[in-house]
Structure 1
């Protein structure tokens, strides 16, 4: 394939060729067999006692096809695993189960298997999100702008976690929590697409991303398109994941109906054996799938370092300005800020000679009423790398002051940016 500035274009066809090297060994036949067996048991349980409204909602979920997107299936599996763990906790057991000696250890073992699978999935999602963010960040200038975006990502994630904590504190269910988590994930995806499309505030953002290959922005924009690069991943690896999503929901429904009928209808040995085998098979196959996908993601061609395409070099050479400040004079840069929580950021140094040189520096703010205040009081220094301040709306003036000098002019190298609030790149 043709390259763009040394970077191979990332397309569905390219991924198809890459995925040829990563065939997934088919799921165990037990996945389909056990899912069918449990569905038969569920029908028997429905016949024994009519479904309640809440039970009907879960049954409807089993009867629907799993989501098409890989990450949505991951969240669905995580939600259903948590629901199963919750039901397998002793406080949720049917009354008569507490009175038995043989069954409790079995259900405790099943809970432990599900907890291990949940930990594996959570670790996979966290590592994948970090890999994607760090990859995108590697194409951005390695200066204060990258630092600001990282800080904004951390602040954004703290805000999202606070939303989850508030929901849980107010009594939200596991389903409510995962509905919010998926909503947050979709918001990350929307923001990522905006970054690639450079719409709205992202026009300003992309302006500052000196050296970002267009092919990366194109990839970000189209990554989640219905026929974009990720569709090849869904085509290759979606079917086994869909089967696992179907299986875990069936396990959850089986336990749910079994619990509500446990005191009135004794669980059969066949049902118990099938449930044990189903949980063991699901957790084993799901963890195998997760570990496989982790290897695929870690080596995927869209995780290409900035060094390989020369992005870092191109980001170093053309974003500093040079000005000579005569003795007794000032150099000022004026910036207008419209959005609160924007940043004024600066990076400057003086060309050094045999004599020690410094320059006065301050930042002044003027609000809409014309009132002025010092954001950064006057000080003398040789340089100030990677500094910034959070802004209110108004006018900001950055002032380099050489008025105290009576002889030496100062060669100043600087860059100043006004960066609006931006969303972090997100998990793919």
Structure 2
């Protein structure tokens, strides 16, 4: 049985604020973060870059986007630290004492950034899985949940294939991360559309996937300009913005150093600053995301299933009623345009003093006119379920009262179709 959201309301910014009051990021970032970032920029200026060219990109406002930017800058820095990408003079003179020491230090920096990259990737995967699994606790614990999980897995495989194809084409790290962020925004737009659904679409989404109203409202407003996540950015954005600027400064300085190496060889004191900056960045960034992981996992909008209570009460205004005369049938025809869409139905009979049942079946008609019986005729007092379509075409739902000689049947029903439902993604 799915957990219930009965009696709950979407989390507000004020609600989150009271929770975050109890979870400050302490101790704050080391002052070395801003100090070393400033030193790196000064050293870049000394390489001959004018002030306009040295204008650094401001960190994004969204926490999620900052995480992706940190991954991008870390990977670019690792790329520069790989021996094959060193300046030719440095590669050609590795036997000198100074260059041997340089090689050892650069190798250590690359290893440290690799560990931080792995930690960040793990954080993102766990956060996405946690959000998905939490939302799933509020959905019916039957084959519908299995369908959604399969759909999410298929969607993620397709996205990975798109990334792999881009990499195979020789695209840069920046191009790859531009695609990764586009995919993330696509997930977010799908989820926002789910929360903003109205009318029949919203009714069916609620029934088909069992999405409670409170979760639909939450997905709709969670990323509003002054919504709940703005409080998260207000509290935890500043240290993350500083860390994003720091790794960008590391990458920028190293890139300029390699470009200017022949005319302005990297000095020992500059390398020492670079080494200290990577040490501080990796230590502080890993401390920050470890803290953030705990805060997010226990934030009020991730309500444990055992807190929620009884199953959500469905509202009567989602239903229609029709009287099916004795010896007659009642049909509803739906058109499906997209493969992997869903047909959903929910019906019951208004009970009287006599034994009440009605026949029900589902037919499919392909665009070429071919007809297939998808659900064989059977008599019911009530039924609810769904059907995952694999084909585009016309679907006919049939309620059959021909077995009854005298009694009309009052049918209470709702039925419709929607395209594939978007999978939950990390909020920010």
Q: TM-score range by the shorter chain?
A: 0.7 to 0.9
RMSD: 4.0
Question: Which residue pairs with 2:350 in the alignment?
Answer: none
| Number of aligned residues | 397
| TM, length-normalised to structure 1 | 0.80
Deviation of residue 418 (structure 1)?
3.7
Give the structure 1 partner of residue 149 of structure 2.
150
Counterpart in the other structure of 2:182: 183
Q: Look up the match of 2:334.
A: 336
Pairs within 5 Å for 1:127-138: 127-138=126-137
Secondary structure of 1:390's counterpart equals coil
- Counterpart contact for 2:360–2:399, Cα < 8 Å: yes
Q: 1:394 matched to which residue of 2?
A: 394
Contact 2:204 2:417 in 1 (8 A): no
The equivalent residue for 1:408 is: none
* Cα shift at 1:141: 2.4
Is the alpha carbon distance of 1:137 and 1:273 closer, same or farther for their aligned partners in structure 2, counting shifts above 3 Å? Answer: same
CA separation in 2, counterparts of 1:110 and 1:401?
76
Mapped partners of 2:181, 2:336: distance in 1:
31
Shift in Å, 1:319:
11
In structure 2, the CA distance between the partners of 1:68 and 1:385, relative to structure 1 (3 Å rule), is: closer
TM-score by length of 2: 0.80
In 2, Cα distance between equivalents of 1:69 and 1:391: 39
Tell me how far apart the structure 2 counterparts of residues 386 and 233 of structure 1 sit (CA, whole Å). Answer: 38
Further displaced range: 28-37 or 213-222 = 213-222
The alpha carbon displacement at 1:293 in A equals: 0.4
**Structure 2 residue 366 is matched with structure 1 residue 364:** no
| Offset, 1:29 | 0.8
CA contact (8 A) 1:337 1:391 kept: no
Structure 2: 5+ residue runs without aligned partners?
A: 95-99, 320-326, 348-358, 404-412
Kindly indicate whether residue 211 of structure 2 is the aligned counterpart of residue 223 of structure 1.
Answer: no
- 1:21 aligned residue: 22
- Which digits, 9 at most, give the CA deviation of each residue in 1:100-135, with x for residues without a partner? 222112111100111111111111111111111222
Deviations 1:7-63 (CA, angstroms, capped at 9, x unpaired): 26411111111001111021001101111111110001125xx89xxx95xx44x2x
CA contact (8 A) 1:205 1:420 kept: no
- Correspondence 1:260-409 to 2 at 5 A: 260-310=259-309, 312=311, 314=313, 334-341=332-339, 342-344=341-343, 364-369=363-368, 371-374=369-372, 376=374, 388-397=388-397
Maintained 8 Å contact 1:73/1:245:
yes
Q: For structure 1, list consecutive stretches of 5 or more residues without a partner in the other structure.
A: 321-328, 349-359, 404-413
- The alignment partner of 1:22 has SS state of coil
Quick check: 218-227 or 249-258, which moved more? 218-227
- Deviation readout 1:296-350 (Å, 9 max, x if unpaired): 01100000134422364647x9999xxxxxxxx99987541232212346899xx
Deviation, 1:194, is 1.3
- The match for 1:196 is 195
Check the 8 A contact 1:188/1:427 in 2, yes or no.
Answer: no
The answer as to whether partners of 2:250 and 2:278 remain within 8 angstroms in 1 is yes
Q: Give the 3-state SS of the residue equivalent to 2:372 in structure 1.
A: strand
